Structure 1
Amino acid sequence: MATGSGRQPAERTLDANLLGSNVSFNYSETWLAYSIFGLRLVMAWVFLQAGLEKLAEGGWGDPLAWSSAGYLNNAVADANPLSGLFAWFGELATIVDPMVIFGQILIGLALLFGLFFRFAALMGAVQMLFFWTAAWQDGLMAGFPVENGFFIDSSFVYMLLLFGLAAWGAGRILGIDATLEQSDIVQQNPWLRYLLG
């Protein structure tokens, strides 16, 4: 069926092998682009808001301001198999705090503008991995319980969303990465594409 412009509707078929099974389904390229762009903006907001809220509380220089030490030293359950790691991070709060605050702001801006998107998504996923493992209230034999269930919490969901957005190259959709990929520097150094997209 042709559209008013004489072009065919932007619909494709995805054929893939997933866990040993052949999978095939039709999808709309237009709606896929809108959904990827929308998810990118939502994730950008999540990181940007979190970082700016922490910075507005005074950052790491004000002893009454936000600090990771309180959470790392008091909120991580003793039964968490990684509690020792997080207690060590709590001792390094003067290093961890700016990494969290400015990391969240920079990740949010990179996601928002589609700039070095895959690298930013990876850094965001690593941060979500730490947040998720810090939320474990016990270990494997208990099913890795988190506050509202087992195994899955919002940090885990954000981690998977970032992985999916990076896999789709969401930084190319109305993002700076689409222009950067055409630059001479990237053309001469194809490995840079692993950071873009």
Structure 2
Amino acid sequence: MATKRRPAERTLESSLLGRTVSFNYSETWVAYSIVGLRLVMAWVFLQAGLEKLADGGFGDPLAWSSAGFLNNAIAEANPVHGLFLWFGEYASIVDPLVIFGQILIGLALLFGAFFRFAALMGALQMLFFWTAAWQGGLLEGFPVENGFFIDSSFVYMLLLFGLAAWGAGRLAGVDGILESTQPVRSNPWIRYLLG
């Protein structure tokens, strides 16, 4: 009689805030969840970039542009309001960076190629979106439209950080193949971009 094989189970032991923590987890389900989260984040970036590109890209006066948002939608009480006004002066540079940045980040996340670099760039973009959403400063608790401190951009930023830490590009991704190539083995610093 054949026995049913259970998914591989491991125990993670670590130190968190000076306290030892330990828990069991299934390698199989962790792998599925990491790939699933990677695909969801890929979709978020691809959809955003492709929608902006479909709206005419840049150069067309009726096309999507960051200028309206940067010059008019950032609360004056936001401590970095001036930075976004400065970005608004350079919308002709910011627009293609946002549009093609989102598309390229989405593709890199989707295919697991240069994943850590793409996740870092995505997290940086989410950091800018999050700080732009502040309605006030520290003394006001950094309120955002739907609460205090946390919004979807902040969640995406943390999710991208976690996926990069796990090396999500190696799971059913191009980075797993790239890491075994001679150029990467000869130049181990490249691994910081992969994973």
TM-score by length of 2: 0.98
Question: TM-score when scaled to structure 1?
Answer: 0.97
* Ranges in structure 1 where 5+ consecutive residues have no aligned partner: none
Partners of 1:8 and 1:82 lie apart in 2 by 52
1:66 aligns with 64
Specify the SS of the correspondent of 2:43: helix
| Stretches (4+) displaced over 6 A | none
Match of 1:101 in 2: 99
Q: Distance between the aligned counterparts of 1:14 and 1:63, measured in 2? A: 54
Deviations 1:87-109 (A, max 9, x none): 00000000000000000000000
2:80 maps to 1:82: yes
1:191 is aligned to 189
Within the candidate set 128, 131, 149, 1:130 is matched to: 128
Provide the aligned C-alpha RMSD in A.
1.1
Measure how far apart 1:8 and its partner are: 6.4
The residue number in structure 2 matching 1:154 is 152
- 1:13 to 1:3, Cα distance in 2 relative to 1, 3 A: farther
Contact kept, 8 Å, 1:17 with 1:23, in 2: the verdict is yes
SS for the counterpart of 1:17 is strand
User: Deviation at 1:3?
Assistant: 5.2
What CA distance in whole angstroms lies between the structure 2 residues aligned with 1:48 and 1:23? 37
**Do 1:54 and 1:66's aligned partners in 2 also have CA atoms closer than 8 Å?**
yes
1:40, 1:64 → 2: CA distance? 33
Residue 16 of structure 1 aligns to a residue whose secondary structure is strand
22, 25, 30: which one aligns with 2:23: 25
Counterpart amino acid of residue 144 in structure 2: V
Q: Structure 2 matches for 1:104-119, cutoff 5 A? A: 104-119=102-117
Aligned residues: 194
Secondary structure of the residue that 1:14 maps to in structure 2?
strand
Whichever residue aligns with residue 112 of structure 1, its letter is L
Query: Is the 8 Å Cα contact of residues 3 and 9 (structure 1) preserved in structure 2?
Result: no
Match of 1:174, SS? coil
**Match of 2:83, SS?**
helix
Q: Deviations over 1:119-173 (max 9, x none)?
A: 0000000000000000000000000000000000000000000000000000000
Partner-residue secondary structure (3-state), 2:22 = strand
User: Which of 13, 21, 30 in structure 1 is aligned with 2:11?
Assistant: 13
| Alignment-mate amino acid for residue 88 of structure 1 | W
> Which of 171, 174, 177 lines up with 1:176 in the alignment?
174
Partner SS state of residue 155, structure 2: helix
Gap regions ≥5 residues in structure 2: none
Residue 10 of structure 2 aligns to a residue whose secondary structure is strand
String of CA shifts for 1:39-90, please: whole Å, max 9, x gaps: 0000000000000000000011111110000000000000000000000000
SS in 1 for 2:78: coil
SS of the residue corresponding to residue 115 of structure 1 reads coil
Tell me the secondary structure at the aligned position of residue 176 of structure 2. helix
